[in-house]
Each structure stands twice: as C-alpha cells, then as structure tokens.
C-alpha cells in the first residue's frame, strides 16, 4: 500500500508563484506537472481566494447540478479532453458503484470509488468571473468539472456553495498515488481459448471489463488475443481518419473520453476539425474534443457481440495501455448498430490495417 503524501504548502506556494511569474499563461494542470504535484494540491492554495472546499457528498452535489441549468461539462485524462455544453438530465445517482446522467447533451457514467474531494471555484475570466465545480480523485487528479455558462443560474451556484460548504477550509490536501498496475502475464499463461469463446458468446458489451478481470488480461492484451475478426490493429492515424470521414459525411458518432472516475460521451455529428501543435481538435459550438495525437501508441478496431447485434468501435491507447479515446456509431440499447457506421469503420480498417 502506498503511503498518503502531503506537500508543505508554504514551499509549494512559493514555487507555484515563481512558475506563474515566469510563465503566466500556464494552466493549473500543466503547472502541477512541472512542479511534480497533483492539480488539487495547487488548487487548495487558493482556498479563501475564490476557492471553497465542499463536503465530499458527491451524490448530493451532483444531484444539485441540474439546478444550474445549461452548463459545460468537462472530463479528461492525460491525453484527451471532452467538453460538452448542455443540461444535466435524467440522473441515477444512488447505486453504490456507478452513477448516470443520460441526456441528449450531457451523458455521463460516474464511478464513485475514486472520488475524494470537491470544490467551488470562482476565477477571473475574459468576460468576468468564471465559476465552476471541480471534483478530484484520491490521487489529486481531476475527474470532472462543471463550468457555468453566461446563461447558467448563478444564484443556484451560490446556494450550492452555502449548502455544501465544508468546515475544513485548510490549504493542504492529502493525496494518495494509485497502486501500480500488475505486470501483464505472458500470453502463453492465459486461457486464450476460454477467453475467445466467452468473447464470442457476449450478450452485453459491458461484460467485456469483467472478462478481462476473469482471465487476468490487460485491455490491449485482450485485443491481441481476440477471436479472429473481432479485433484489428490499425496505424495510429485511425483516430484522425474516422473523425475526419465522419465529419465529411456528417455521420453521427459517439465519442467516449474518461478517467478512473468518469466517462463522458458525446453523441452527434462533428464538423469543425482544427489542428494545433500536438493536438487534434473538434471545435463545435456545443462539443469540443482535444486529443494529443502523438500520445496514441496503439489503435484498434474492436467488435463485441450484443443482443442487438455486433457493436463496432475504434479504440486508441497510450504507451501504458490506458484508453485515450473510443469512437462508436450513434446507437442506443435495443437498437442495432447502423450499417453505415460498420461500413465506415471497415473502410478505415482495410486502409490502415497493420499486418
């Protein structure tokens, strides 16, 4: 078990101030990386100056967010960012392990286990105060943020702060690094035949995670060991190709980006594709996606059976086998996958397949 760690906040404050004086446009997440700490350890330095620590009643807090009206939801990992404007609708937050919001705009899968701290943040923005709710995991990394838009309900935001204000307003935050992932077993030690048979017999794509645990395989190892025709390794421009072709055809897709505590989903078309150094972006009025293209080291077509037929995805991973981003065709449970999506993926697969 890794020990809980803390950083002396006077020393950290000095180092943070020096960094921001030298590089005033540095984002807080990037500053944390430069200083060798987590984002939350820098955020708490501003408690009492626009930052308020909230009670760790995460289900209660999330249940209040619909009162804010139209907002921007942000979830990210190290190499991909998902920003979606809309309202938080149709919550299901009482289950022990998983919570949901299922709306046309804001579509979330919440994994409560890693959640550890919550804050209300008011900071200077280009057009006045920028208000947000920010949630962090035990390792100090952000799992989810909710930013108010000009049309959002500021009165509800202020009431939420009063209701959930924590008596603890200290400027130090303990963080606990995640245990290291177990070393991947050699393929020869895996019951590959059993794994393949169970894959082909799947009735629900959500069973895939349980299968990887049962057979003690990593996610990318699972794709290497998949039944014939159920996975294909592609070159790493697959993400760019599938998004570009979907945009050109105005074909509705699903974009999944997440971290240990959250998966955020966009369903719809994408239109405005923008390149900036290191990042491939979708910049649409209500949906922004930013992916650090060079961080993708494996890309796969993945096919999983379900009661509604085959479900096809393109999945992109980093050098540690961590999922960066997933793409599906627009679909809902009970409705088969659109053949146009399967055809689009097949085109990319045929062109970008790695032998």
> Is the fold of 9-89+116-164 the same as that of 187-352?
yes
Instruction: Report the chain's C-alpha Rg in angstroms.
Output: 21
- pLDDT value of residue 1: 37
**pLDDT value of residue 4:** 47
Per-residue pLDDT of the chain (355 residues; tens, 9 = 90+): 344 444 467 788 889 888 888 988 888 888 888 898 999 999 999 999 999 999 999 999 999 999 999 999 999 999 999 999 999 999 999 888 999 999 999 999 999 999 999 999 999 888 889 999 999 999 999 999 999 999 999 999 999 999 999 999 999 899 999 888 888 899 999 999 999 999 999 999 989 999 999 999 999 999 999 999 999 999 999 999 999 999 999 999 999 999 999 999 999 999 999 999 999 999 999 999 999 999 999 999 999 999 999 999 999 999 999 999 999 999 988 889 999 999 999 999 999 999 6
Contacting residues for 151 by C-beta, under 8 A, at least 6 apart: 69, 70
pTM over 0.75: yes
The matching CATH number, chosen from 3.40.50.300, 3.40.50.12500, 3.40.309.10, 3.40.1570.10, for 187-352 is 3.40.1570.10
Q: What is d(CA 36, CA 53) in angstroms, rounded to the nearest whole number?
A: 22
Note the pLDDT of residue 8: 66
Task: Tell how strand 287-292 and strand 80-86 pair up.
Answer: antiparallel
Sequence ranges of the domains in the chain:
9-89+116-164, 187-352
Kindly report the CATH number that applies to the domain delimited by 9-89+116-164.
3.40.1570.10
Check residue 345 and give its pLDDT: 97
CA atoms within 13 A on the CB side of 313: 18
Nearest to 299 by CA among 253, 350, 342, 236: 236
Instruction: Supply the pLDDT for residue 79.
Output: 97
Cα–Cα distances (Å) from 185 to 202, 217, 220, in that order, read 23, 7, 12
Q: Report DSSP letters for 217-273, one per residue.
A: --HHHHHHTPPTTSEEEE-TTHHHHHHHHHHHHT--EEEEEEETTEEEEEEE----E
């Amino acid at each position: 078990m890794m020990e809980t760690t803390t950083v002396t906040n006077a020393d950290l404050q000095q180092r943070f101030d020096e960094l921001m004086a030298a590089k005033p446009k540095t984002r807080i997440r990037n500053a944390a990386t430069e200083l060798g700490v987590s984002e939350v350890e820098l955020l708490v330095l501003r408690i009492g100056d626009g930052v308020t620590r909230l009670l760790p009643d995460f289900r209660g807090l999330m249940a209040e967010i619909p009162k804010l009206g139209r907002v921007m939801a942000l979830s990210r990992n190290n190499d991909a960012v998902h920003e979606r404007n809309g309202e938080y609708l149709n919550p299901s937050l009482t289950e022990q392990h998983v919570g949901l919001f299922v709306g046309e705009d804001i579509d979330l899968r919440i994994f409560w286990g890693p959640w550890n701290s919550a804050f209300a943040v008011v900071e200077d923005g280009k057009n006045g105060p920028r208000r947000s709710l920010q949630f962090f995991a035990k390792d100090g990394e952000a799992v989810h943020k909710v930013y108010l838009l000009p049309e959002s309900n500021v009165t509800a935001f202020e009431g939420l702060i009063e209701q959930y204000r924590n008596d603890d307003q200290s400027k130090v935050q303990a963080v606990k690094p995640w245990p290291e992932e177990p070393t991947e077993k050699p393929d020869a030690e895996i019951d590959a035949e059993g794994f393949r048979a169970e894959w082909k017999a799947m009735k629900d794509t959500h069973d895939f995670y349980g299968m990887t645990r049962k057979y003690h395989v990593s996610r990318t190892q699972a794709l290497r060991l998949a039944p014939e025709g159920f996975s294909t390794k592609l070159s790493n421009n697959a993400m760019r190709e599938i998004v570009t072709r979907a945009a050109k055809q105005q074909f509705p897709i699903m974009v999944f980006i997440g971290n240990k505590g959250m998966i955020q989903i966009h369903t719809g078309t994408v239109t405005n594709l923008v390149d900036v150094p290191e990042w491939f972006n979708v910049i649409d009025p209500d949906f922004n996606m930013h992916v650090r293209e060079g961080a993708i080291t494996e890309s796969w077509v993945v096919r999983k059976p379900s009661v509604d037929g085959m479900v096809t995805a393109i999945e992109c991973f980093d050098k540690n086998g961590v999922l960066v981003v997933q793409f599906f065709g627009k679909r809902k449970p009970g409705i088969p996958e659109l053949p146009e999506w399967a055809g689009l993926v097949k085109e990319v697969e045929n062109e970008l397949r790695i032998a």
